[in-house]
Structures are given as C-alpha cells and as structure tokens.
Amino acid sequence: MLARTALMGVVAAVLLMAGVWASLDAMRLVTADRGSVRGTLTVEECDGWTCRGAFAPEDAAGGAPVEAALEAPVPHAAGEKVPVVLWPGADEVLRTGTAGVLRAWSPFAGALVLAAPVIAAGLGKRRTAWAAGLSGAALLGAAFVTL
C-alpha cells in the first residue's frame, strides 16, 4: 500500500513538473523584456490554428517588418493588430499581456487536470484533487476566453 502511494505521488509530481517545464520558456519570453523583440502582428490570414501576418517591432532598432506566424485557437480578423513578442531565431510570435501569460501557462493547467485523478485515486486526497482539477480547468478556460 505504501509503495503504491509513493508511486502515485511520484507520478503526480512528474506530471506537474512536466507542465511547469513546458510552460517555462513561453512564460519567460512573454514576461521578460530582455532579449526579446516586442511588436505588433497585423493579421493577414488565418487557417486552422495559425494566423500569419506582418510583424512590426515596437522600436525602430528592431528592423523591418517580417512575415510571422501566431498559433491562435481562435482566428483573428484580417487587419487586426495583435500585441506579440517574436520567438528568438524563428518566425513564430507569442501573444503578450494577460492573454499571453494565460496561454503560456496552458501546459501547466493541462498537467493540473491530468494530475487530479492521480491525486484522488492514488493518494486518496480528494479535496486536493478537486482543487487541482478545477484550478487547471479554470486556467484553461481563462486562456481560451482571453484569446
């Protein structure tokens, strides 16, 4: 019994650490000012989960506008200007502000939802599992609404 509980505790911890790890790079980029190029993406077209358009940096030292892609589960209208930050060394951009922060934490929110049944069944901590699952679901819902 003790070995099963310890194993489930390890599984829950690994799930949660993987969620934080997956969220960390995007979170650093969205919140940090150093080493990132912030600007505006003018949406030209959206197909499926990707919107493409011209990225214009905020400051003139950032260079000329470049073609960039934004992963967006909710399509944006053509001509809409979205505040973004350019992913270093790529043509991919991420949302900034509240929407960007919530979107960056989406992998961790998913990990909370996935860990909830493990916490409930494996560890017998039903209240903790409900708190983890509902927190993860609320974070995912908030990220979707703000996008």
Nearest to 109 by CA among 134, 87, 130, 81: 134
Is the CB of residue 126 less than 8 Å from the CB of residue 120? yes
80 Cβ partners below 8 Å, 6+ apart? 42, 43
32-41, 69-78, 130-139: range with highest mean pLDDT: 130-139
User: What pLDDT band is residue 144 in, cutting at 50, 70 and 90?
Assistant: confident
Measured distance CA(65)–CA(58) in Å, rounded:
10
Q: What does the pLDDT look like over 80-138, one tens digit per residue?
A: 999 999 877 778 888 888 988 999 999 999 999 999 999 999 899 999 999 999 999 99
Task: Determine the pLDDT at residue 62.
Answer: 55
- DSSP class of residue 59? S
| Whole-structure pTM value | 0.82
